[in-house]
């Protein structure tokens, strides 16, 4: 009897040890399984050599996170809006199951994130540096700026400002008056400026713009300089009008679903935030280096550059600045957003950062 009891104990002990030896490696394997985050973008995959500033910066950001988290956080990038329309990105990322991370472009989310999109109003900033820094600072200093993101279940990780816009058209002009009666694609402050000049603004997903230009459905478009290269708009519009003086640059935020963010370990969160904090400088440096390449490329494609005279620029500014901003404040207030307070705070920060 004692022998049988001893044998039973030995057998049970063997089973426990075997179970432990089998389970621990499985648990370790499960624990080491990387978190793969899906990323939705509306631009095309970058070509060899890095591509435009937003393409190259996003790739760099994902690779650095994968490297510095030792593979615990990885990304699967979906280009060219294959997961859904760019106008739905905020809902797609903030919701469940479609995408975990995405580029939230202000011009496509104007009234989903009105304070964020308010920074692309004309005549507030020029260039891509001050605007991005001002957005980041106001986000951290002012609760309403953060709250509109939280309501959509989004956490912006880093913000960049897409290249200053160009007016891409088929004809040579010297004034916006030359476009009276034309149909031009564009949103935000540009749409209001167009109305003041008797131009009809139209707006639909950017993937449809090339064909619309090609068929003559529209006569031109307002679009960022660099990204126009991978949409190939230079093939259907050979005149690029410099609108840097208007300062209607569109901000873009790489944002993550808050629920997914909370599943990432605190240490990896810190790593992601540290890498994200350095992306503004990376984006700027890449943009400045890439400008000459873009200039040469567009010229090689037969593009002709147009700049309005200082007098014409002043006329546009005097005619449109106050009217557009007042119109935006009225619309923001109707949406329940503190438009006037936002502009006061944003302008003050911009003046400090200049």
Identify the domain containing residue 89 by its residue range.
Answer: 34-162+249-293
- Residue 173 DSSP label: -
pLDDT tens digits, residue range 267-305?
999 999 999 999 999 999 998 888 888 999 999 999 999
Per-residue confidence band for 32, with pLDDT thresholds at 50, 70 and 90: low
pLDDT tens digits, residue range 323-342?
999 999 999 999 999 999 99
Question: Residue 99 maps to which CATH number?
Answer: 3.40.190.170
Note whether 269 and 183 are same-domain residues.
Answer: no
Note whether 310 and 335 are same-domain residues.
Answer: yes
Note whether 340 and 207 are same-domain residues.
Answer: yes
Is a pLDDT exceeding 90 seen at residue 189? no
In a domain, 16, yes or no: no
In a domain, 24, yes or no: no
Residue 154 to residue 104: CA distance in whole angstroms: 10
Average pLDDT over residues 120-136: 92
Note whether 110 and 230 are same-domain residues.
Answer: no
pTM: 0.83
Based on the structure, what is the number of domains in the chain?
Answer: 2
pLDDT > 90 fraction of the chain, expressed in percent and rounded: 73
Residue 226 to residue 287: CA distance in whole angstroms: 9
Residue 349 to residue 125: CA distance in whole angstroms: 11
- Report yes or no: 109 and 102 within 8 Å, Cβ to Cβ: no
In a domain, 15, yes or no: no
Q: Across all residues in the chain, what is the average pLDDT?
A: 90
Note whether 54 and 104 are same-domain residues.
Answer: yes
Report phi then psi at 219, rounded to 5.
Answer: -105, -5
State how far Cα 44 lies from the chain centre: 14
Note whether 186 and 330 are same-domain residues.
Answer: yes
């Amino acid at each position: 009897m004692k022998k049988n009891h001893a044998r039973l104990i030995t057998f049970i002990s063997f089973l426990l040890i075997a179970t432990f030896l089998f389970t621990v490696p499985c648990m370790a394997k499960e624990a080491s399984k990387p978190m793969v985050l899906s990323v939705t973008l509306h631009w095309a995959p970058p070509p060899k050599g890095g591509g435009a500033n937003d393409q190259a910066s996003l790739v760099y950001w994902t690779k650095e996170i994968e490297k510095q988290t030792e593979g615990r956080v990885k990304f699967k990038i979906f280009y060219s809006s294959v997961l859904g329309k760019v106008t739905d990105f905020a809902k797609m990322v903030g919701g469940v199951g479609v995408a975990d991370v995405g580029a939230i472009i202000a011009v496509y989310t104007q009234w989903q994130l009105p304070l964020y999109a308010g920074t692309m109003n004309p005549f507030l900033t020029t260039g891509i540096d001050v605007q991005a820094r001002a957005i980041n600072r106001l986000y951290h200093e002012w609760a309403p700026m953060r709250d509109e993101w939280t309501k959509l279940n989004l956490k912006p990780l880093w913000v960049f400002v897409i290249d200053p816009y160009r007016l891409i058209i088929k004809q040579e002009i010297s004034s916006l008056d030359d476009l009276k009666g034309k149909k031009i694609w564009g949103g935000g402050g540009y749409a209001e400026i167009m109305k003041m000049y008797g131009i009809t603004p139209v707006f639909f997903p950017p993937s449809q713009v090339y064909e619309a230009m090609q068929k003559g459905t529209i006569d031109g478009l307002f679009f960022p300089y660099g990204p126009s290269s991978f949409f190939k708009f230079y093939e259907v519009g050979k005149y690029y009008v410099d609108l840097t003086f208007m300062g209607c640059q569109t901000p873009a935020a790489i944002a993550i679903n808050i629920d997914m963010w909370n599943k990432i370990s605190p240490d990896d969160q810190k790593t992601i935030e540290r890498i994200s904090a350095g992306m503004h400088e990376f984006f700027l440096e890449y943009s400045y280096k890439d400008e000459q390449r873009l200039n040469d490329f567009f010229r090689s494609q037969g593009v002709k550059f147009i700049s309005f005279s200082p007098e014409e620029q002043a006329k546009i500014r005097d005619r449109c600045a106050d009217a557009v901003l007042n119109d935006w404040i009225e619309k923001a207030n109707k949406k329940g957003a503190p438009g006037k307070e936002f502009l006061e705070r944003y302008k003050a920060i911009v003046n400090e950062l200049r």
